Structure 1
Amino acid sequence: MKTIQTVLLCAPFFGLVAMALPGCWDESAPDSESEEILCGKLAECGKLSAGVTAERCADNMGVLHLQAINELKACTPVFEQLKSLMACAAQQQGCESPVGREAAELPADHPCFEENERYKEALQEVGAQSKEPDAGALCAFFYERAVDRATTPATGKTCSTNADCPDVECPDPALGSDGYCQNGKCKTAIDICR
């Protein structure tokens, strides 16, 4: 099973919680299905910003997932497993479930146990490859920020590429961003610094 797809399907995405649906991620399902499952649950739980539909969230998340992989190839195992775990959690858990926010200790009979274990392995793998124990957690943080972008609308000026948008500075420097164009609109500080 793909690493990120496994993680997102079985857990809520950093601060966004996935909910209960029967069964977990089907490995034969297309890549976009995990985004649809997760965004559908986020919409159900009221975790999408006003003006962002589940469909728009899923489209945004698919694009941002590919951008994240292209920008940080070393993080691909974490991204893949996180995506899969979150999708599983979206199918299995309630809106307030902590599963998927970080590697958890789940009982072997938990529906997302395998996805959670693969996610923990991916975190360790990235840390071992980079020789930095916290590298996997940094990858997860980067992916969390990408999901935040997918669940909020872009409210800035019209754009066609990221270069058309100004950089965003937030009070918390970790939340700042290079200019980002989403669906023809620039992300602003209001969109990113929440």
Structure 2
Amino acid sequence: MNTLKTVTRCAPLFGLVAMALSGCWSESGGPAGPEDTLCDKMAECGELSEGVTADRCAANARLVHDQAGKELEVCKPVFEQLKSLMVCAAQQEGCESAVGVESAALPAEHPCFGENESYKQALQEVVATSKDPEAGVLCAFHYDRAMGLATTPASGQACTASADCPDVECPDPALGRRGYCQFGKCKTAIDLCGVSAPAEPTGDGSPPM
């Protein structure tokens, strides 16, 4: 948890997502790609927030993946291999997938064994490159949080840039985020945290009911 708090407080992900979400994300897209496969599966399994279509999710994810690779160069191999693994799982497995952002111990006969091994190797290489034993975990965390932005709507006040949006504080400090503007609207606590903003203390100092 300390690691997550440190990442949340200090990680460059905040900068990259704010840039990616500023202004307008185009949904025109291009040919179907890995993000389309991944988001179609998430829609099928009910993993997209209300108001987010598979097409919107895929458009968001393409920009998040592109920007993440530029802003977090050290994590790019992890992002690419994890995306490949998740797409394999979307194609080969049901909604109760055996793979995720944490590397799994898959048997050799598993259809995603090769992708899983490549992902584990990428995690090891980023640790060797950065000389930080937690670097692989942090890269996976960045990917997970970025995909969280791609799969949630923006239902708050009108905006033209992320600077127009208030910061969001989630009950779990690891999920707190700076303000984000997406498709002309700000992300809210409900959008990003899945719950309302934390309740204010009562006037007499007692905790809220």
CA distance 1:80–1:185, shift in 2 (3 Å): same
Aligned pairs, how many?
165
Per the TM alignment, residue 32 of structure 1 is displaced from its structure 2 partner at its CA by 5.4
* In 2: Cα distance, 1:113 partner to 1:104 partner: 9
Q: Which amino acid aligns with 2:191?
A: D
Q: Deviations 1:92-132 (Å, cap 9, x if unpaired)?
A: 01101121331111122221111111100111111111111
Verify the 8 A CA contact 2:168 2:189 in the aligned structure 1: yes
The whole-number CA distance in structure 2 between the counterparts of 1:137 and 1:148 is: 16
Contact 1:32 1:62 survives alignment (8 Å): no
After alignment, is 155-164 or 135-144 more displaced? 155-164
Match of 2:168 in 1: 168
Distance verdict in 2 for CA 1:135–1:32, change over 3 Å: farther
Structure 2: distance between partners of 1:132 and 1:170: 28
The equivalent residue for 1:66 is 66
Question: Cα 1:179–1:32, aligned 2, differ >3 Å: closer, same or farther?
Answer: farther
For 2:111 and 2:98, the matched residues in 1 are separated by: 14
What TM-score do the two structures reach when normalised by structure 2? Answer: 0.74
Given that 2:164 and 2:181 are in contact with CA atoms closer than 8 Å, whether structure 1 keeps it comes out as yes
Q: Secondary structure at the match of 1:129?
A: helix
Aligned partner of 1:101 in structure 2 is 101
- Secondary structure, in 3 states, of the residue corresponding to 2:169? coil
Which residue of structure 2 lines up, in the alignment, with residue 117 of structure 1? Answer: 117
**Kept after mapping to 2: 8 A contact 1:64/1:146:** yes
**Structure 1, 99-108 or 135-144: larger mean CA deviation:** 99-108
Give the structure with higher Rg (CA): 2
Which blocks of at least 5 consecutive residues in structure 2 are unaligned? 1-29, 195-209
Asked whether the 8 Å contact 1:100–1:116 carries over to 2, the reply is no
CA distance in 1 between counterparts of 2:112 and 2:98 reads 12
1:146 paired with 2:159, answer no
User: 2:101, 2:140 within 8 Å by CA — same for their partners in 1?
Assistant: no
CA 1:89/1:146 → structure 2, altered by over 3 Å: closer, same or farther?
Answer: same
- How far is the alpha carbon of 1:160 from its aligned partner? 2.1
The answer for unaligned runs of 5 or more in structure 1 is: 1-29
Q: How far, CA to CA, are the matches of 1:153 and 1:76 in structure 2?
A: 26
Mapped partners of 1:68, 1:60: distance in 2:
12
The alpha carbon displacement at 1:70 in A equals: 2.7
Residue identity in the other structure for 1:173: P
Q: CA deviation at 1:176?
A: 1.1
SS of 2:94's partner is coil
Identity within the alignment, %: 67
Distance 1:39 1:51 in 2: 14
